[in-house]
């Protein structure tokens, strides 16, 4: 494991991703960016003509595919380069140039949607008959036409497209603030030794068995974040205002409705999740009470919520060990899946360790041209091993969708985005549990799973509820001030965690460090995706090959149909509450086993 303060240039190449697979050099990237500047003129040649014939419509859509396949690596290269060194002015400029190029193209193509909307159903069916190849775009064209009530005139669409770059400012400002400018003090452990506190190291520090260190890390993090709470609140206020602007411009009833409509997910799914979790908060309170008992503390604090509660939690898991274990755990998905996984491991799809200026957290790029890229900040912990399995689940989902779907339906929607990643986590946990009958080791693994479940289902639903509160405040004309957000967040924290824990005052500022609030009502899908994943993993382990076959059809489905139908292919019906309730019941079963083991 590297020192997190290592300069990027000093990171051994084998632990870095190979961006030369996208462009061999920065110069090649600049050449492509220049070449793409000719695209607006090519697009404009089709303006006013999309409905004239099947051939014209088909050719225009093919051009759109070409542009998409070229813009994706352009963004991927610039974004990945910047994310491993956020202080780099060069890569900030490159990502800005990529955004400008995309905006120019998007503005030129603003006529696509309104012109496609103007084609009558009869004319479009005639086009399909005249040119069978056009059927490749049937799903994509349906996705456009189903939003007819929310499509504006060409001039208005052009104006909204031009505003997109400005609308992304809160996210970009927030990212630079959190990852490049916000610095934290070193924190002492019980022996007075100092530890580096960063956004990336905070998680491992909170898992330490040294309570003094945990408390100091907690207070160091939130005292520093609290100093900038007004800045953070202003950035979030701007984020919600731009969401409101676009929602109102398109005639949606709320920012939630506008965000979920892109993925054909009814708002009731979001609201029903919150209701279901509220009804099951006693299970979380039971878990919190068990944690307090097992830690043997008079008062359980928020800095006690992440530390493992068994001795073996100190075990170190190297990156090589993590890769080997993940391969073994996922072998139930078949040889083809494992070979693809090894290809990613062996060919530098992954940027492994934290370095100075690197973006915190972990992600899969989602881009699969030429292949996905995964960012990690590996810490040689069990949690990091699960993160590896999680992000490679995303990566291989993207790979399958891109390989088996045409460009127009290759991108899967965010409602299913967390399913494949979490299936990998569940399979890894079940594999590890299957390898031991030792009570201490089982307790350790169950504790990790319970913590993961708590963080994914309960915590992300808490975030989702808070984001919904912010959206409604903005829609009601209320300013998102730091004091108002602190008050609401603290109250929500107390509701979710109950009376067995002290909701320490600094936790009221936690909202200020959560990047997902800039993802437009994204986080609820961690909870729904987790629930679906538990059901799919159970089916794979009990039914074997037939379930794996269905699951790979889901992985290869992209956005070829709506997300509810895609999950039905894998054997899960998210139109019912059953998967969420089943997952919550499994959470309770594990609490019961943990109580018996302790």
The rounded Cα 257 to chain-centroid distance in angstroms is 19
Q: How far apart are CA 150 and CA 155, in angstroms?
A: 14
- Helical packing angle, 382-404 and 335-346, nearest 10°: 110
DSSP-derived 3-state class of residue 503: coil
Q: Any catalytic annotation for residue 391? A: yes
Cα three-residue angle 13-371-400, rounded to 5 degrees = 140
In eight-state DSSP terms, residue 571 is: T
The shares of helix, strand and coil residues in the chain, as percent rounded to the nearest 5, are: 70, 0, 30
Strand partners, 363: 375
Specify the residue for token string 């399995």.
389
DSSP-derived 3-state class of residue 351: strand
Backbone angles phi, psi at 364, to 5 degrees: -105, 135
The rounded Cα 387 to chain-centroid distance in angstroms is 12
Residue 73's CB is within 10 A of a number of other CB atoms, namely 19
In the numeric block, which tokens belong to residue 275? Answer: 């209701």
Specify the residue for token string 């990566």.
395
167-191 exposure pattern, b = at least 16 Cβ within 10 A, e = fewer: beebbbbbbebbbbebebeebbbee
Asked if 214 and 307 count as a contact pair (C-beta separation under 8 A), the reply is yes
Asked if 396 and 555 count as a contact pair (C-beta separation under 8 A), the reply is yes
Nearest to 555 by CA among 370, 417, 374, 385: 417
Ramachandran category for residue 571: left, alpha or beta (phi over 0 → left; psi -120 to 50 → alpha):
left
Report whether the peptide linkage leading into residue 370 is cis, meaning its omega lies within 30 degrees of zero: yes
142 Cβ contact list (under 8 Å, min separation 6):
none
In the numeric block, which tokens belong to residue 31? Answer: 């050449």
3-state secondary structure 405-465: CCHHHCCCCHHHCCHHHHHHHHHHHHHHHHCCCCHHHHHHHHHHHHHHHHHHHHHHHHHHH
Question: Active-site residue among 72, 136, 391, 425?
Answer: 391
Element (H, E) at 188: strand 187-188
Q: How far apart are CA 537 and CA 539, in angstroms?
A: 5
Nearest to 375 by CA among 527, 275, 515, 236: 515
Q: How deeply is 274 buried, as exposed, middle or buried, from its count of CB atoms within 10 A (0-12, 13-18, 19+)?
A: middle
Catalytic positions, please?
Answer: 391
């Amino acid at each position: 494991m590297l020192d997190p303060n290592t300069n990027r240039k000093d990171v051994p190449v084998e632990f870095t991703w190979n961006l030369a697979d996208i462009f061999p050099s920065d110069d090649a990237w600049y050449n492509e960016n220049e070449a793409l500047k000719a695209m607006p003129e090519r697009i404009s040649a089709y303006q006013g003509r999309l409905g004239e014939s099947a051939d014209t419509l088909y050719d225009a859509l093919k051009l759109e595919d070409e542009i998409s396949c070229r813009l994706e690596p352009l963004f991927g290269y610039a974004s990945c380069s910047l994310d491993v060194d956020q202080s780099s002015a060069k890569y900030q400029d490159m990502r800005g140039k990529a955004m400008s190029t995309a905006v120019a193209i998007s503005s030129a193509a603003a006529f696509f949607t309104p012109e496609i909307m103007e084609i009558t159903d009869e004319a479009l069916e005639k086009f399909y008959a005249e040119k069978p190849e056009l059927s490749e775009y049937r799903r994509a064209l349906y996705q456009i036409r189903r939003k007819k009530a929310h499509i504006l005139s060409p001039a208005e669409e052009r104006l909204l497209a031009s505003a997109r770059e400005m609308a992304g400012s809160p996210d970009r400002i927030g990212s630079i603030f959190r990852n490049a400018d916000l610095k934290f003090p070193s924190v002492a452990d019980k022996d007075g030794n100092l530890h580096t506190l960063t956004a990336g190291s905070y998680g491992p520090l909170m898992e330490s068995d040294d309570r003094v260190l945990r408390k100091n890390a907690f207070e160091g993090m939130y005292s520093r974040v609290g100093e900038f709470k007004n800045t953070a609140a202003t950035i979030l206020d701007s984020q919600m205002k731009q969401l409101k602007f676009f929602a109102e411009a398109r005639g949606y009833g709320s920012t939630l409705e506008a965000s979920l409509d892109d993925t054909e997910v009814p708002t009731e799914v979001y609201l029903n999740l919150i209701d279901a979790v509220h009804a099951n908060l006693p299970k979380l309170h039971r878990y919190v009470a068990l944690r307090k008992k097992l830690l043997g503390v008079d008062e359980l604090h928020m800095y006690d919520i992440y530390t493992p509660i068994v001795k073996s939690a100190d075990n170190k898991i190297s990156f090589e060990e993590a890769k080997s274990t993940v391969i073994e755990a996922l072998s139930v998905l078949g040889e083809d899946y494992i070979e693809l996984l090894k290809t990613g491991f062996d060919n530098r799809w992954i940027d492994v360790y934290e370095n100075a200026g690197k973006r915190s957290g972990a992600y899969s790029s989602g881009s699969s041209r030429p292949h996905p890229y995964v960012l990690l900040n590996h810490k040689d912990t069990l949690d990091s091993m699960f993160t590896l399995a999680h992000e490679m689940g995303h990566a291989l989902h993207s790979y399958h969708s891109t390989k088996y779907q045409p460009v127009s339906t290759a991108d899967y929607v965010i409602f299913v985005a967390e399913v494949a990643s979490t299936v990998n986590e569940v399979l890894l946990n079940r594999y590890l549990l299957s390898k031991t009958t030792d009570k201490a080791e089982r307790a350790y693994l169950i504790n990790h799973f319970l913590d993961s479940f708590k963080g994914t289902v309960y915590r992300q639903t808490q975030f989702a509820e808070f984001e919904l509160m912010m959206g409604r405040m903005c829609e009601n004309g209320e300013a998102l001030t730091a004091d108002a957000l602190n008050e609401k967040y603290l109250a929500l924290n107390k509701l979710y965690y109950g009376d067995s824990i002290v909701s320490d005052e600094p936790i009221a500022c936690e909202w200020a460090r959560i990047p997902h609030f800039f993802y437009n009502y994204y986080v609820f899908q961690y909870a729904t995706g987790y629930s679906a994943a538990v059901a799919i993993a159970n089916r794979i382990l009990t039914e074997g090959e037939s379930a794996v076959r269905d699951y790979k059809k889901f992985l290869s489905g992209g956005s070829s149909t709506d997300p509810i139908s895609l999950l039905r292919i894998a054997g899960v019906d998210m139109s019912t509450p059953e998967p969420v309730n089943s997952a919550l019941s499994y959470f309770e079963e594990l609490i019961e086993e943990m109580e018996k083991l302790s």
